[in-house]
Structure 1
Amino acid sequence: MNDAAAPSSGSAGERTLPAFPVRRGGATRGRTAWARAWTAAVEDVWPEDEPLRRGRAFARSGRLGPVTVAPGRVRAESYTGDAAHATELTVPVLDDAAWDRISEHLADRPETAAALLEGEVLPAGLAAEAGLPLLPGHGDLDAACGCDAPEHPCAHALALAVQTAWLLDDDPWLLALLRGRTPEAVLDDLKSELLLRAMTEVTGQDDGAAPDAEADEVSAEEDEDGAAPREGDDEAEEDVEPVPADPPEPDGKAPRSNREAYARPPAPLPPLPPVPKRRTGAEEEPPATGIEADPLDRLVADAAVRARELLAHLHGTGAEDPPPPPDPWQDTVRLAATHPDPRARERLRQAVAERAAERGTGHDVDQLTEAWRTAGAAGLDVLEHPWTPDPAATARARTALAEAWSPDEEPRLTVEENRFTFGGRGLQLRLGRDGRWYGYRRRDGVWWPSGEPAADAAAATGELLAAEEGHHKT
């Protein structure tokens, strides 16, 4: 598989499109210029006729599930008889330099840029421009499938490539998403480029502006002391003393009357007074402000964590939406889980217990604080609030979880809302609203958070089994 592909499920901007129904005949290479350009690129990378024919036939058969497009990859379930296989195409995500070239290219064409900002789709001519590698080339496009067919790519992967062209018929922006940018990010980059050019043009005009003609005339008439003679009075210079030129000179230097002072060398600073000695045995004096340092330390640390989350969002490495600040309940749990002072932590745990009783959560303090330490507010939400994913996501999760176990040890899987329980093992995975999987282990009849969340169901299962093995060893 392509090493340069983007991360898997849960990426920012990921979109899942409905499965295509059975198609009887008709063109398979797409109707629009973008779809045909994608098809040409795929057939250039994988040119063998017979595999392409089988791929087109499978694409028309209606045996591919919903298609998910994310940065670096296109995924779908393919069905052969009763078997379901995870099928995936991968391409490298374009780096910032490539997207900068695309923004500059669009900004060079004002009509195209204006149309995009008014809601038009990406112009089809962008696919053929030199140096703008939106379409995959040799070494870019790769495929993987769970069918274990000897051919590479298999008919399922080629069918997924065919259906990707059909998706581009309806929404060419999906190609930008596949290469690592959401439509909003592309338009933001274009706006920044247009704004930068506008600012540069204005600055250039200001720098090249001719001096005021009247100011030039006055400067030409000024005498060397900086005072202009009064019009019509030839004797003025003899009768009136010149006024010192206090305003700044046109060359930007200090007024002439001040230049002598500025020219003097600076006087040395007086020596620093000695540091007062600390009295031995003296009692610690209270802070002058009346505020102890420890709360300030916590506030600074909390502000730093919040700033990091917001910066991650601004740079596109965090969640799609900026993380909201914790509400009073979440903040109480957070402090009880993370406060370094045992005395304060015990008071906070009591506050959590009281509020939990008021809320009727049914969870004790240790469960709540452990959920926060596992994954913050998202982990707390997974512990407290079950929810129901859409049926397609549940079906994909069933397949992925079944593949994570070997056939001789696969347990009975029970699904209730977002909770996938492995019968007889005391293990459970919960799907969070953030698309990540959270491991839980049953202890004394109670489900406890276990381990860090993972973006992939199979990876989360592996982490859960590793945690269980370590628990048994201890």
Structure 2
Amino acid sequence: MAAPGRDGELRRTFPAFAPRPAEDIRFAETWWGNAWVAALEEGALDPKRLARGRGYAQEGHVDAITVTPGLVLAYVRGSRPRPYRVQVRLRTLGDGDWERFLDAAADRPGHIAALLDKEMPHSLAECGVPLLPGPGDLDPHCSCPDRGHPCKHAAALCYQTARLLDADPFVLLLLRGRGERELLDALSRLSAARAARAAQEREPAPLPGVRAADVLASDRQLPPLPPPLPAPAHPEQPPVYPAAPGGPDPFALDQLATEAAARAHALLSTGRDPVAELTLWQDAVRLAAARPGSGLTAATRALYASLASAADRTPAELARAVAAWRQGGLEGLAVLEEPWDPPAGRFDRARPLLLAADLPAFRPWRNHLTHPRGHVQLRLGRDGLWYPYESEPGHDDWWPRGTPDLDPVGALTGLGASPEG
């Protein structure tokens, strides 16, 4: 699906979906998308109009869809030359409902992480707030003369809306009255306030030593200084930074503090800076890879754009490089970007091993071995590991996938490729 246009935080416009094969009858894969479809179908008065609406949706009759609080709007092409204007209304939530929702979301860190990954946890939808519509909650209106509830044009729009909700639950939250940025900012402030209260309630642990006043009041000779405290096992996470009007971005502050703590811990533990020898691009990839997600969520999109711009790259190039870094660190990035000519030996032995595993003859090029279908590739790293890659067949658009392995067949197995694939 193409990216939506944003006329403002409370208005999102999505391009029309392309027609789908007739046998592809599912309009939702997620449980919340299916709940939307169930609300439509269980509240409909005529199953035949629903069937016509499904056909219209599958054939691509629904034009661009605009979502605002309480309203889904689109033009749907029917049997006449002029398309019909279709609206589906849904009641927005009140302030009390939103307070309960935000409290429930901030109560568990997993809830916020799930929302950022475009997931809707069951427990969040069961917090006592009517996020999902029930039968009869969807209120369709169409400019066609059919008085059915819903007519086939409104049914088509509802089915396509289920696909939008499937891809991004923030569309449902916008329908209920609040935009993604507003909700994430509110969750950031609420989480920061809770973390601050929890920190105030904790008594600091006493440090070993002697009070300075006791030492100065004593006439005895001072003992030798105690040995330095050992380095902690790992750097701690920084506190949550609240968002403030005109203040720095809390996400950027968290990134800087986390990075400073990690480098300080490495210097304290090993005496060397782990990133001193990295290039600007390698360091940008490392920083982006340290954050969860793939630069597609609201929380990481700005970070990816900033890092990519600083390195004179695109966010898409950074996302691919992050996948390589997560696959194999600095060596994984080198495997992505630097083809090389391996000496005879491990590379030459790989093709017979693949054939012995009932795999077809992979095509060699430098340190690459590519499946003849063009959907799976192995790359030999200078560390002797085989790095698996995937692409859409024939597109030559390779992305790191799976775990590197000394055994080429093992690398494909970790990728999930079958010998028949």
Normalized against structure 1, the TM-score is what?
0.39
Of structures 1 and 2, the larger Rg is shown by 1
Normalized against structure 2, the TM-score is what?
0.44
